[in-house]
Amino acid sequence: MNDPGAEYRFRDRAGSLIAEIDAALDRGEIDEAGWHARVADIIRPAYLAAITPQAQSGHSGDAATWEHARGLLADAIDRDGTFLDVGCANGLLMETMVRWCAAKRVRIEPYGLDIVPELAALARSRLPRWAERIFVGNALTWTPPMRFDFVRTNLEYVPPRRRRDLVERLMRDIVAEDGRLIIGVYSNADPGGPGLDDIVRGWGYPVAGQVERPHRTRLNELQRVFWIDAPGVSKGA
């Protein structure tokens, strides 16, 4: 059956390289482990060679542009709780989310997960106070030590045909029963096609909230975040 989630194209600087890896998976030349390994082979050297904390998290700007690009994630946090960054890289988002939430008097306890062991090690060395909270694993298969009130991810962290599985898996096993899954920040490479939020709604997950803001320099490009609440939220209301 045609899955619009697998057709969705994210805007990504490494988009053409990722497209080649997707095509190799579709042709059966690599398996899913090979897909993750080849994506990691792009990310690992670039992030580890970077000299700014932002670039070690895949962002090409400085602290101010990082805040513009990621600060809207804090809009998804509406109460105190644990926050898991799925794909934490060097841990910069864990750190800055604590600050952005504190500015609105919300206290989060950050955790991180990354598929690249060297990046998790970098996060632990940058953030020794949270070293025990930074894990290595693939979001599709990792066994969490607990559930988290807020879980952030991006759907491009898995092969296109596994995006729906990623959402299902995180909601089933990792988000707390009254918790929230936050998807983003992402940009659509094909504004003519269906939105990612509509695709996720079509998978049976009502979108509980969303925010967007124009990219700092590419003003016609919108950066988006949306979130899904676990059923326990409405049950408790």
Ligand X SMILES: C[S@@+](CC[C@H](N)C(=O)[O-])C[C@H]1O[C@@H](n2cnc3c(N)ncnc32)[C@H](O)[C@@H]1O
Q: Which is nearer to ligand X, 20 or 232 (CB)?
A: 20
How many residues belong to the chain? 237
- Minimum CB separation of residue 137 from ligand X in Å reads 6
Within 13 Å of residue 92, how many CA atoms lie on the same side as its CB? 19
162 contacts 217 by C-beta, under 8 angstroms: no
Work out the burial of residue 119: count CB atoms within 10 Å of its CB; fewer than 13 is exposed, 13-18 middle, 19 or more buried: buried
Q: Which is nearer to ligand X, 51 or 237 (CB)?
A: 51
Q: CB neighbours (10 Å) of residue 187?
A: 18
Q: Which is nearer to ligand X, 185 or 228 (CB)?
A: 185
12 contacts 156 by C-beta, under 8 angstroms: yes
- Minimum CB separation of residue 237 from ligand X in Å reads 29
Q: Could you give the angle at the alpha carbon of 143 between the alpha carbons of 141 and 148, nearest 5°? A: 110
Q: Please give the residue ranges that form the binding site for ligand X (CB under 6 A).
A: 43, 57-58, 70, 85-89, 93, 113-116, 119, 138-140, 157-158
In DSSP notation, 159-199 reads: -GGGHHHHHHHIIIIIEEEEEEEEEEEE-BS-TTS--HHHH
Q: Which is nearer to ligand X, 69 or 230 (CB)?
A: 69
- Minimum CB separation of residue 180 from ligand X in Å reads 16
Residue 220 structure tokens: 């016609």
- Minimum CB separation of residue 85 from ligand X in Å reads 5
Report d(CA 146, CA 173) in Å as an integer.
Answer: 9
- Minimum CB separation of residue 190 from ligand X in Å reads 20
Q: Which is nearer to ligand X, 152 or 199 (CB)?
A: 152
Q: Which is nearer to ligand X, 158 or 175 (CB)?
A: 158
Strands (DSSP E) contained in the chain are: 81-86, 108-114, 134-136, 148-153, 175-186, 207-214, 222-229
Q: Which is nearer to ligand X, 33 or 219 (CB)?
A: 33
- Minimum CB separation of residue 21 from ligand X in Å reads 12
Q: CB neighbours (10 Å) of residue 153?
A: 21
- Minimum CB separation of residue 103 from ligand X in Å reads 19
